[in-house]
């Protein structure tokens, strides 16, 4: 099939290359010329495992091309995907201006019947909006259909999620149109669900809101555990083994970030309220998530004091989650900004997100590995749970730190083992309240120690 994908970001690029890999002819369009030029030279705009190789293979085989020319690309395609960004507005609602622009461009390029597929995450009702925009702007009396096909890929495993999705959701106005999409996805041999357009749009938001709620629920339980002397890691393990609950998205920490959950939860809340439903459950999910990093920052200050001048703090992990270089709504930004405004010197390392972080946080010192971060630090803060941090030589880390204090925002270490190794360890909900005077006093005395020499 001839396919055009408008928007060559995480979703558009991965969708395009996977369809090409399945044997389709795919043109990926983006309005940013530098991105398109880079892709034509084999330079990926994002980090995603396996992406570069798959793009190279399909470009070499002539099935995948990149361009800024929407009109030429749309006119050649039978199916046109819209995969542009849908960022949040101030009031939490979704900014549909990129979707609208894409729809206008499609309208002007319409030269034969086409199926227009909305892959961007858009509020319920946007299918009708896209249809209206195209109807209003098309230059010829040509028919088209609008389908909703929300995307569920996760950054960091986008290729594999696209090849092996749990389900493919197709919201189509009728069975004939749905069949076009079924045919396209058939080679993946994955479960497909066919719905009306509005239900498909709603499935995406309901799924993300539910997952975000699971995370906030685990964090709320963690906050009680912390005060009550229970260990949330054991609690969620015990909960998750119940098949009705499941382990996924039940890890306590400093909250969810990234380009999807924060904006999608707010957008769904806004949609609910626009229909007169307050959705207190989702409101609480968002509020819990907003509060979680603030609690963590308060814990750091409780232990180290409000004034951090003269102290070096090491930060492990910058990206909003492991295996991505995406810094959108990354918790590291708020945490580091607080440390800087409290007078600390900040040293940080992330396996792949450093380049993207430099633009956001130019004033911190970037290190080549976790040990460089730890050297001379008065405290280490784990912000992103990269596997390589789980496997650090912690004896070595303790030896090179100025004070063996670890704030583990992702609960990657075992509190007992950390204590045995001589660390003052503060996880999230690990039954170790930073309000306990003994722990705080001990850590504060470490934190005032002079930096150790060498790495
Ligand atoms: P992105 O910002 O990485 O990419 C969007 C791309 O669209 C950009 O390269 C931009 O230049 C391009 N673009 C915007 N307007 C254009 C136009 N008129 N013509 C051509 N190109 C245009 O965004 P993303 O992360 O890929 O997300 C895209 C959509 O998919 C969003 O609605 C998002 O919520 C949703 N989504 C994202 C993920 C994810 O993990 N990133 C997962 C599922 C769904």
pTM of the model: 0.92
Choose which residue among 16, 30, 150, 159 to substitute to test ligand 1 binding: the one with the highest number of ligand atoms within 8 A of its C-beta: 30
| % residues pLDDT > 90 (the chain) | 94
Tell whether the model's pLDDT for residue 448 goes beyond 50. Answer: no
Cβ proximity of 215 and 411 under 8 Å: no
Q: What is the mean pLDDT of residues 247-266?
A: 97
> Measured from the CB, is residue 36 less than 6 Å from ligand 1?
no
| Residue range 8-38, pLDDT digits in tens | 999 999 999 999 999 999 999 999 999 999 9
pLDDT grade for 431, boundaries at 50, 70 and 90: confident
Q: Note every long-range contact of 416-423, with CB atoms under 8 Å and residues 24 or more positions apart, other chains counting.
A: 418/394, 421/394, 421/395, 422/398, 423/394, 423/398
The pair of three-digit structure tokens given for residue 30, joined into one six-digit string: 């983006």
The pair of three-digit structure tokens given for residue 75, joined into one six-digit string: 């006119």
| Residue range 77-119, pLDDT digits in tens | 999 999 999 999 999 999 999 999 999 999 999 999 999 999 9
> Measured from the CB, is residue 100 less than 6 Å from ligand 1?
no
Q: Which residue ranges form the domains of the chain, and what is each CATH number?
A: 2-195 (3.40.50.720), 288-447 (3.40.50.720)
The pair of three-digit structure tokens given for residue 188, joined into one six-digit string: 């993946």
Active site residues: 260
């Amino acid at each position: 099939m001839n396919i055009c994908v408008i928007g060559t970001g995480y979703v558009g690029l991965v969708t395009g290359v996977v369809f090409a890999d399945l044997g389709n002819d795919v043109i990926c369009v983006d309005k940013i010329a530098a991105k398109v030029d880079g892709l034509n030279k084999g330079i990926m705009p994002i980090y995603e495992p396996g992406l570069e190789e798959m793009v190279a293979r399909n470009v070499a085989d002539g099935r995948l091309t990149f361009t800024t020319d929407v009109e030429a690309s749309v006119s050649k395609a039978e199916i046109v995907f819209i995969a542009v960004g849908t960022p949040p507005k101030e009031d939490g609602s979704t900014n549909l201006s990129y979707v609208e622009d894409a729809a206008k461009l499609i309208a002007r390029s319409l030269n034969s019947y086409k199926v227009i597929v909305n892959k961007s995450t858009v509020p319920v009702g946007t299918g009708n909006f896209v249809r209206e925009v195209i109807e209003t702007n098309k230059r010829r009396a040509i028919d088209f259909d609008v389908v909703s096909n929300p995307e569920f890929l996760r950054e960091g495993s986008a290729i594999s999620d696209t090849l092996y999705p749990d389900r493919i959701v197709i919201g189509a106005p009728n069975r004939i149109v749905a069949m076009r999409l079924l045919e396209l996805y058939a080679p993946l041999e994955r479960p497909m669900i066919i719905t009306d357009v509005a239900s498909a749009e709603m499935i995406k938001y309901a799924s993300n809101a539910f997952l975000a709620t699971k995370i906030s629920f685990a964090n709320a339980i963690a906050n009680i555990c912390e005060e009550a002397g229970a260990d949330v890691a054991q609690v969620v393990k015990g909960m998750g083994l119940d098949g009705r609950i499941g382990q996924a998205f039940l890890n306590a920490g400093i909250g969810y970030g990234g380009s999807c959950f924060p904006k999608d939860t707010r957008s769904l809340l806004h949609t609910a309220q626009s229909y007169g439903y307050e959705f207190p459950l989702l409101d609480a999910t968002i509020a819990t998530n907003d509060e979680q990093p603030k609690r963590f920052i308060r814990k750091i200050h409780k232990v180290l004091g409000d004034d951090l001048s003269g102290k070096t703090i090491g930060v492990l992990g910058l990206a909003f989650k492991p295996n991505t270089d995406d810094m959108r709504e990354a918790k590291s930004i708020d945490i580091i900004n607080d440390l800087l405004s409290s007078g600390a010197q900040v040293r940080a390392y992330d396996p792949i997100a450093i380049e993207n972080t430099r633009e956001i946080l130019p004033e911190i010192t970037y290190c080549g590995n976790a040990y460089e971060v730890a050297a001379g630090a008065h405290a280490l803060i784990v912000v992103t749970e990269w596997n390589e941090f789980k496997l650090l030589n912690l004896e070595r880390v303790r030896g090179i730190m100025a004070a063996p204090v670890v704030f583990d925002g992702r609960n990657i270490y075992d509190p007992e083992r950390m204590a045995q190794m001589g660390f003052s360890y503060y996880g999230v909900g690990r039954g170790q309240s930073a309000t306990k005077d003994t722990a705080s006093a001990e850590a504060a005395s470490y934190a005032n120690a002079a930096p150790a020499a060498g790495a």
